[in-house]
Structure 1
Amino acid sequence: MAQIVFDLDGTLIDSAPDIRQVANTVLEAEGKGPVSLAQAISFLGSGTHVLVQQMRDTVGIPDSEQDRILKAFHTLYEGAFDLTEPYSGVRSALDTLATQGHGLGICTNKPMRPCRAVLKHLKLDVVFPVVLGGDSLPERKPHPAPLLATFDALGTGQRIYVGDSEVDAETAERAGIPFLLFTQGYRKTAVEDLPHTATFDDFSALPDLIADTLAAAS
């Protein structure tokens, strides 16, 4: 059996509409914005500190306001899940993998409080015994430490990481972990330019892809 760790935003869930709404609510209070959905997606991947920094830069809010704007963003972020949905096939694929006996975890740069809140709202929390957020350790992805810590908490078994982005690809490469790239998420780089073991564009294909990855490693 495998230990399979997933990224969250852009991999399991399409959360960009909610993140954009939080960003625009914060910006409106500053007399700025709004940002488009495409801009909001471009901010994602490296945690809320970078997200807010890029959001500020886009609308011309100075660096001196970073901490205040970040606090305002976090205040709204925990409850931002009404527009968020799992990608098609996610629930079925996770149920299949859990039934097959694989260990499932999440390693995300999303802070733990909004991470736990959205998982509970979508009733995905029961599938994942191990979840590490962007504030769980001093390091964040693409540093390999959070990913390796998630695997260590899951236990022994072949390790496989599933994600959607440049950050995920770099994290897996630095950790030396096979990486399955979901191509319908928030990736900005061409698939062929990202290091990966295999790709998929539909979660219905994931259980078989996991089986193929295990067979290739045996």
Structure 2
Amino acid sequence: MALFNDVKAVLFDLDGTLIDSAPDLAAAADKMRVVRGLAPLPYEVYRPVAGAGARGLLGVAFGLTPDHEDFPVMREEFFVNYASCMTERTYIFDGVVELVDALAKRGMAWGVVTNKATRFTAPLTASMDLFGSAGAIVSGDTTPHSKPHPAPLLEAAARLGVLPSQCVYVGDDERDMAAGHAAGMGTVAATYGYLGAEANLSAWRSHAEIKSPVELLNFLGPV
């Protein structure tokens, strides 16, 4: 028996869940080190914090925290770097295309809810055919609140014309699970994303965990 019943739509986080954008995010941060005469850092140090965006990447690259006076200026420099390279190395995770095709065969709508700003989400998703079938793409600045607030998820459900209780939300970060719970949706933790060694999955309280995108189908039942 399927874990989730009466599911009409599946919503996904973007980075670390549908696409692997860590290589481009890391390149944007490392470029900032290089132009300052600092040695490049190994990609492996950046990857675990890719899901945290500028906060995580600048933290690794420079030990910079959001409360530092230089953070806003450094963040914008990072954003400019990222905008110039964000489609160069980013790719769709294996199994995502097959998963989306399977959802279509089940008559399920799907959409994206990300904390990534529209200035990045719009061109990035437009560059990939996958997102042409998405019924809703909600960015971090689409609503007055970003995750872990439920507002973006509720907006996506409304755009798809389904009840929140008829949605499942899949993400690779604790705030994704918190947002899903707050929105009254089923929650699935994508463990193939950017989980760092310190991630405590038991604290996320997700309804299920998947090690690959297509595993989600096991919880949605047969066609």
Instruction: Pick the aligned partner of 1:109 from 108, 111, 115.
Output: 115
Structure 1 position 202, deviation (Å): 1.9
Secondary structure of the 1:45 match is helix
- Output the CA distance in 2 between the equivalents of 1:62 and 1:29: 23
Q: TM-score, normalised by structure 2?
A: 0.83
- Is this contact kept in 2: 1:10–1:164, CA < 8 A? yes
Corresponding letter in the other structure for 1:180: V
Identity %: 28
Alpha-carbon distance in 2 for matches of 1:86, 1:3: 20
Q: Do residues 19 (structure 1) and 29 (structure 2) align?
A: no
Q: Paired residue for 2:81?
A: 76
Distance 1:45 1:145, change over 3 A: farther
Counterpart position of 1:208: 218
Name the residue aligned to 1:186.
194
**d(CA) in 2 for partners of 1:60 and 1:183?**
26
Offset, 1:94: 0.5
Aligned position for 2:179: 171
Backbone CA RMSD of aligned residues: 2.5
User: Which TM-score applies when normalising by structure 1?
Assistant: 0.84
> Cα gap change, 1:140/1:35 in structure 2, threshold over 3 Å: closer, same or farther?
farther
8 Å contact 2:30–2:40 — kept in the other structure? yes
* Contact 1:164/1:185 (<8 A) preserved: yes
- Report the counterpart of residue 134 of structure 1 in structure 2: 140
**Shift of residue 127 of structure 1?**
1.9
CA 186–60 in structure 1, closer or farther in 2 if over 3 Å, else same: closer
> CA 1:76 to 1:22, structure 2 compared with 1: closer, same or farther past 3 Å?
same
- For structure 2, the residue ranges without an aligned partner over 5 or more in a row are 1-6
Q: Provide, for residues 91-118 of structure 1, a one-character-per-residue CA deviation record: whole Å limited to 9, x for no partner.
A: 0111111232211110111122222222
Structure 1 pair 168–36 and aligned structure 2 pair: CA distance change class (3 A) = farther
Moved more, 194-203 or 115-124: 115-124
Quick check: 89-98 or 133-142, which moved more?
133-142
SS of structure 1 residue aligned to 2:170: strand
Partner of 2:101: 95
3-state SS of 1:94 partner: helix
Letter in 2 for 1:28: V
Residue 59 of structure 1 deviates from its aligned partner by 6.3
1:177, 1:92 → 2: CA distance? 23
Partner SS for 2:185:
coil
Q: 1:57 Cα shift?
A: 4.8
Q: Is residue 188–residue 206 contact of structure 2 (8 Å, CA) maintained in 1?
A: yes
